[in-house]
């Protein structure tokens, strides 16, 4: 593993005997810390590989990538060296879109398909409607930062200034995405959402059209960020799905 490859993974603890690796992709503005506890939950079946995108947490000084295609190409370059065993991909919100296009890109390169693709809280890409969210980015960022307890107000302001450029880049990435028709995926696909998620159940169910493999949906208590509040149910669902194909 080169230093460049290693920069893409955080909180990664190798589990040499695990039959699967799980690459975890965060929501817009989010980082790999969202998945830092998953390794302990899923070992020894799964070696969890939280992906750290540029522009956040340990890579905060790097500019975020505001376009999907270049980001997916860089991800494929970085992760292709980790495909020496069976693997799965999990993506939350924007991470679901990245996971879908990463799966397609790896297929174009003749690399193995994932054993499972897990997506959460994101409309099926071919149903995605353009939505101008640029004006709400700072408000959304402020809501997330001010919700963090035990952080002085002046520090919250500094965090907001650091977070907004990344959120703006992530927003441009999602808004600029254009679905291109290709053959359906071959892997199993599971789609999750929160019961008060702003992603409608019908839009989530649309993922069914994008794979020839088995498909299911599952709803958990919570809103769009249910994964932060009640991750255990999702982690158990991932474990069950991968154990079936181990």
Rounded distance between C-alpha atoms, residue 192 and residue 231, angstroms = 11
Rounded distance between C-alpha atoms, residue 228 and residue 53, angstroms = 18
Rounded distance between C-alpha atoms, residue 27 and residue 225, angstroms = 9
| Residue numbers annotated as active site | 93
Rounded distance between C-alpha atoms, residue 221 and residue 58, angstroms = 30
What contacts 214, CB < 8 A, 6 or more positions away?
188, 189
195: tokens are 């019961």
Q: How many CB atoms lie within 10 A of CB 66?
A: 19
Residue the block writes with tokens 């994964």: 227
- Contact status, residue 123 vs residue 59, Cβ threshold 8 Å: no
Burial-class residue 118 by CB neighbours within 10 Å (0-12, 13-18, 19+): buried
Question: How does DSSP classify residue 11?
Answer: S
Length of the chain: 246
18: tokens are 């695990």
Q: How many CB atoms lie within 10 A of CB 212?
A: 12
Cα 231 to chain center, whole Å? 14
């Amino acid at each position: 593993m080169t230093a460049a490859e290693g920069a893409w993974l955080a909180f990664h603890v190798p589990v040499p005997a695990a039959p699967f690796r799980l690459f975890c992709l965060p929501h817009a503005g989010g980082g790999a810390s969202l998945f830092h506890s998953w390794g302990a939950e899923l070992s020894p079946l799964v070696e969890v590989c939280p992906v750290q995108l540029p522009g956040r947490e340990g890579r905060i000084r790097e500019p975020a990538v505001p376009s999907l295609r270049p980001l997916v190409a860089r991800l494929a370059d970085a992760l292709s060296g980790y495909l020496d065993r069976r693997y799965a991909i999990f993506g939350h919100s924007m991470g679901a879109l990245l996971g879908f296009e990463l799966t397609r890109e790896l297929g174009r390169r003749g690399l193995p398909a994932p054993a499972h693709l897990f997506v959460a809280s994101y409309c099926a890409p071919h149903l995605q409607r353009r939505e101008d969210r640029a004006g709400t980015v700072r408000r959304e960022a402020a809501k997330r930062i001010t919700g963090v307890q035990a952080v002085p107000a002046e520090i919250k302001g500094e965090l907001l200034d650091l977070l907004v450029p990344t959120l703006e880049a992530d927003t441009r990435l999602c808004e600029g995405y254009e679905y291109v028709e290709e053959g359906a995926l071959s892997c199993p696909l599971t789609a999750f959402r929160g019961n008060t998620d702003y992603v409608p159940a019908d839009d989530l169910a649309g993922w069914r059209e994008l794979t020839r493999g088995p498909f299911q949906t599952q709803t958990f208590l919570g809103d769009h960020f249910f994964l932060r509040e009640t991750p255990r149910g999702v982690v158990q669902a991932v474990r069950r799905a991968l154990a079936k194909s181990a």
